Structure 1
Amino acid sequence: MVRAGRLAEDLAREFEPAAQSIGAWVAAGDKQEGRQEGMTSGLATAERDELAQLRWENKQLRPERDILSNAAA
């Protein structure tokens, strides 16, 4: 509803959670979906998972590459 243009304060009066809570929920959802622009850590959950997987693969492949290059020499 906030994304549709309603104010968090109006929603807080209607549904009774604090406006701060609503704002935090919206911010958490935006961050999870990668919607926040201008943030270095604003990756979506899927992007963070992919980045972790790629870093792990790089860590595994570097020693293998070194072994193969030493064997070829």
Structure 2
Amino acid sequence: MARRAAPPNAGPGYYNGTPSRGALTDPNESFFSAFLREEIFAPEKLPGNLSILTGAAVFFRGIAAIRTFGELIIP
């Protein structure tokens, strides 16, 4: 069976792994600000980032509570 060709201007049929930057980005933007915009504050990644932040906050609050009130636990 013959294989059909891709439609014109379809682009590659594989994932190239490079993130596509939006057309409205500043070409002189620093790496750190691009990282914050694309990974931290991106709307599609915000729920996961909030989940990580909540877990870290509960962990460190637990450590602070044990260090503060640890004497009450020991009989």
TM-score normalised by length of structure 1: 0.44
TM-score normalised by length of structure 2: 0.43
Task: Give 1 or 2: higher helix fraction.
Answer: 1
Highest CA radius of gyration, 1 or 2? 2
